[in-house]
Amino acid sequence: MTEFHTLRRPEGSLAYDVAGEGPLVICLPGMGRLRSSFRFTAPALAEAGFRVATLDLRGHGDSDATFSAYDDVAAATDALALVEELDGGPAVLVGSSMSAGAAVWAAAERPEAVAGLALLGPFVRNPPMNPLLSLAFRAAMAGPWAPAVWHGYLPSLSPGRRPADFEQHRAQIRASMRRPGRAAAFRATTRTSHAPAEERLDQVSAPTLVVMGAADPDFKDPAAEAAWIAERLHAETMIVPEAGHYPHEDHPEAVNARLVGLCRTATGA
């Protein structure tokens, strides 16, 4: 059974769900996503014997949009606060996209609280980008039109097979962004720098799995990016054929098995 809770933070509250019993796993969605992006992941982990918490980022979903910071470090401190809220862990952190950087920062900051990392389509550094493309992205995300741009952009992030409920989930994301304060919070989140995560890669000792979609359009060479991260973190890698930026949603049956394995290794379950 899934239970809904809120985590009180100094500037607002964050929404999270908990299901299952056992060692703790905390799932952190990417920018512009909802905790329900782990709708295929959390049940598999809970069935495998883990207590799984899925958290809405600041200004996303059912979390408040009252915060002054929406970056990697802020998300990392929220993850660590949730570990404490749920009896102190240590926990496996599953970070998607931007939240992979947050998971890395948290593991470096409090290694005793983080048993392992699973990084999905991970941004743990600022990728090289054509200056013109960078300018265009900033312009697209600079105004009140940003949620509409994001809604239009989402299909390109899953260029291969998509979940059967893709359009329904996409509509939920758009509806969430129409709630008061959410559009401004999303724009603030898009300005996140991943430099704080990159600076701490060498401080991470937790066992790590890097999962990358072979067709991830956010990276010029997804396999090469996965290899670079794996070298820095002494991690294992999984390249998912035909998957895009959210391999755990596009191909859950393949990814879940590796996630369960990583969680068992990290926690000794």
pLDDT value, residue 128: 74
Reported for 174-177, long-range contacts at CB under 8 A and 24+ positions apart, including other chains, are 174/147, 176/34, 176/60, 176/61, 177/32, 177/147, 177/150, 177/151
What proportions of the chain, in percent to the nearest 5, are helix, strand and coil? 45, 20, 35
Cα–Cα dist 208/114, whole Å: 11
pTM over 0.75: yes
**pLDDT score of 137:** 72
> How confident is the model at residue 127, as a pLDDT?
80
Tokens standing for residue 61: 């979903």
Q: Are 260 and 44 in contact (CB under 8 A)?
A: yes
Tens-digit pLDDT string for the chain (269 aa): 899 999 999 999 999 999 999 999 999 999 999 999 999 999 999 999 999 999 999 999 999 999 999 999 999 999 999 999 998 789 999 999 999 999 999 999 999 999 999 999 999 999 876 566 666 777 777 778 888 899 999 999 999 999 999 999 999 999 999 999 999 999 999 999 999 999 999 999 999 999 999 999 999 999 999 999 999 999 999 999 999 999 999 999 999 999 999 999 999 98
Q: What is the pLDDT of residue 140?
A: 76
Amino acid at 127: P
- SS3 of 116-134: the string is EEEEECCCCCCCCCCHHHH
Q: Three-state DSSP class for 35?
A: helix
Q: Which domains does the chain have, with CATH numbers?
A: 3-267 (3.40.50.1820)
Write out the two tokens for 220.
């010029």
